[in-house]
Amino acid sequence: MSILIVSGTGTEIGKTIVTAAVAALAAARGGGVAVVKPVQTGMAPGEPGDLATVSRLAGVRDTHEYARYPDPLSPAAAARLSGLPALSLGQVATDIRKLSEDRALVLVEGAGGLLVRYDEEGATLADLARDLGAPVLVVADPRLGTLNHTALTLESMAARGVDLAGVVLGSWPHEDSGEVPDLAMRCNLRDLETLAARPLAGALPAGAGRLDAPEFLLAARAGLGPTLGGSFDAARFRETWGL
């Protein structure tokens, strides 16, 4: 019965794919896993959102979305423009605790970064994590600019008493992607580990979201570290790619 929050250093950096990867490995171990997306923005009612992606890749059907707004904005701004009520993170925390009573793991994927506003009072995912006493898995972009974004995220967590579950690279160039890691990406590996004061918790291959479920499970196992149920070797990865 554990709860893990998945956040990131920004938007569109692979949080949903990382969430699906953790869910896939947890489901393979058994014991039951639920995935929660407290709020989905930028999607009309009935459109497949992030939880549909998680279900497709991880095979997890125990998914929960509590609010949806059509504009691709922060939850607070999207709720305001839609005229719909803002989400109550206090109620979300209550529901997540209830889910955790009979699941081995409850995964919670945030919207955007750690300090994105969920309501007009300024409630954030960091507040939810602190309320639940849950660690946060930070998904980072390996490219130029990531060190500042990651440092600010980690410092905000520390200031709020939120524990770090690890840093995962949401998308690392794969041989099939036609992209190669550039100089900044390779140099960033060591510095990201220095910022986190621990080895990387994983690096998922670019394009993993296009795999079918069996292939995705293999990619998840290879791309996430032992603490998340995978076999990713941070030292070997850094020796192969880092500078």
Catalytic position from the list 8, 35, 37, 203: 37
136 alpha-carbon distance from chain centroid:
8
Beta-bridged to residue 35, according to DSSP, are 63, 107
* Cβ count within 10 A of residue 192: 23
Count CB neighbours of 119 within 10 A. 16
Kindly give, in sequence order, each residue whose CB lies less than 8 Å from that of residue 162, ignoring residues fewer than 6 positions away: 126, 129, 130, 135, 136
Nearest to 176 by CA among 211, 146, 142, 221: 211
Angle among Cα 74, 159, 86 to the nearest 5 degrees reads: 25
Within 13 Å of residue 116, how many CA atoms lie on the same side as its CB? 24
Helix axes 183-196, 234-241, angle to 10 degrees: 150
Residue 37 known to be catalytic: yes
Contact call for residues 168 and 209 (beta carbons, < 8 A): no
The β-bridge partners of 105 are 2, 33
Identify the H or E element spanning 106: strand 105-109
Residues marked active site are found at 37
